[in-house]
Structure 1
Amino acid sequence: MAIQLVTDQLSNVLDDKFRSQFVGNFKAIEKALNDLYTAQNTLNSDQDKINQSLKDIDYGLESIKVDNKNRDENIEAIVNILSDYDVPVAIVDGKVVDTTKEGE
């Protein structure tokens, strides 16, 4: 939205028209500044929400990493226990595999 201020059209005579044009300019500037202030507050609020969302996502990713680490540790512990009882399993490339050979 363009704001049209009265500039070179101001009267050379200090009269009511000059005063109203001058006051009108200040009102237009005041409205534009208030609109900018409102827009800035909205942008700041939106940015805060985005930053919080990013923190929440980062926390969620960290939680997933911890869960995956715990799961891997638990699987490794189970495979070790099974191996102690001569169950033919091992972890190969992150997967639990049967270590019996074909034909046995």
Structure 2
Amino acid sequence: MDNNEQALATNELSTLPLDHNWYQKLASNFEIIQQYLDKLDTDKLELDDLKNKFDDMSDKINIYETNMQAIVNILSDYDVPIAIVDGKIVETKEGE
């Protein structure tokens, strides 16, 4: 636990009388917990944003690969000796 983090008073609640001090400690617990809930919400938004970016990049890669394959197919129809090898367009020898 960092020096900046606050500790929950949960362990003390069973020994405290039910007075105003008890209420303040209980309210303090919820304030501490709320900070972590807010951070979780922020982290989830960041993860959702990263997932959306990843999905967008995956879509673009799929479109790129599809277009590259279409170009190779068209050129192959005109007997241009090329093929896709390891994700790259390479010149092939006749008959390969």
TM-score (norm 1): 0.66
**Change in 2 beyond 3 A, CA 1:2/1:48:** closer
Distance in structure 1 (CA, Å) of the matches to 2:64 and 2:54: 15
**Change in 2 beyond 3 A, CA 1:56/1:2:** closer
Residue identity matched to 2:79? D
Aligned-partner SS, 1:46: helix
Q: Indicate yes or no: 2:81 matched with 1:88.
A: yes
Partner of 2:46: 53
Partner of 1:65: 58
By relative contact order (CA 8 Å, sep 6+), the higher-ranking structure is: 2
Partner of 1:32: 25
Deviation at 1:2, TM superposition (A): 9.3
**Aligned CA-pair RMSD:** 2.6
What fraction of aligned residue pairs are identical, expressed as a percent? 31
Residues 34-62 of structure 1 show CA distances to partners (whole Å, capped at 9, x for unaligned) of 21111122111111111111111111111
Aligned-partner SS, 1:36: helix
Give structure 1 stretches of 5+ with no counterpart: 8-21
Deviation at 1:100, TM superposition (A): 2.7
Residue identity matched to 1:89? I
Count of residue correspondences: 84
Residue identity matched to 2:55? E
C-alpha contact (below 8 Å) 2:8/2:32 kept by paired residues:
no
